[in-house]
Amino acid sequence: MMNLIKKSIAGVLTSAIALSLSSCATSIASYEKNSNAIAAPTATEITESQATLKSLLTETSPPKNTLPVTIYQADDRCETLIPKSVTVPPQRSVEAAVGKVIAQRDTADFSLAGYRVSINQNRVATIDLRLAPSSKRQLVSLSSCEQFALFGSLRKTLTANQTWNIKDVRFTQQGEDIYL
């Protein structure tokens, strides 16, 4: 009995697919007869398009007006930080890298509304975090794994990129020190 039902369903699906494909072919054929608006591309245009696509796919250098940097993310077990190469705008590259790390930390119950980054003359960066008003959890309620993933990733991202020459990282929440 079950085998008969499966065969019936398969037959109905096959018929539906064939019917929909034949209606598409009819629509395309009638469109081609009635439309002169789109001309078929020439062989030269196709070759040029393929060459452009190939160069985009094989290009290994970062896009212009970007700076390659390494950000760090915690592994699934919160044991180590894994490097990931990204590109950021060269102006405000530190802030952009911090933003990329923070974007990965938002969850359903923990969300940051913003941040500010400042670097003093001793090359110590301060990241001032702003908790979203809708966030159900506070920074102090983060587990040790979540703290490692957020603060460890930010600290490693800023201190490991030699371009910025950052010696240490401090964290504040609306100007008040966060002690980890």
Q: How many domains does the chain have?
A: 2
DSSP-assigned letters across all residues of 115-154? EEEEE-TTSEEEEEEEE-TT-SS-GGG--HHHHIIIIIHH
CA dist 170 and 178 (Å) reads 8
Residues 122 and 141 in one domain: yes
Collapse the DSSP code of 81 into the 3-class scheme (helix H, G, I; strand E, B; otherwise coil) and give the result.
strand
The SS3 assignment for 87 reads strand
| Co-location of 81 and 36 in the same domain | no
- pLDDT tens for residues 85-142? 999 999 999 999 999 999 887 777 888 999 999 999 999 999 999 999 999 999 989 9
Q: Does residue 160 sit in the same domain as residue 138?
A: yes
Q: With a threshold of 0.85, does the pTM exceed it?
A: no
Q: Could you tell me which of 105, 102, 55, 88 has the C-alpha nearest to residue 164?
A: 88
Same domain, 80 and 141: yes
Is pLDDT of 26 > 60? no
Instruction: Mark whether 46 and 95 lie in a shared domain.
Output: no
| Token digits of residue 157 | 């991202």
What's the domain range around 9? 2-58
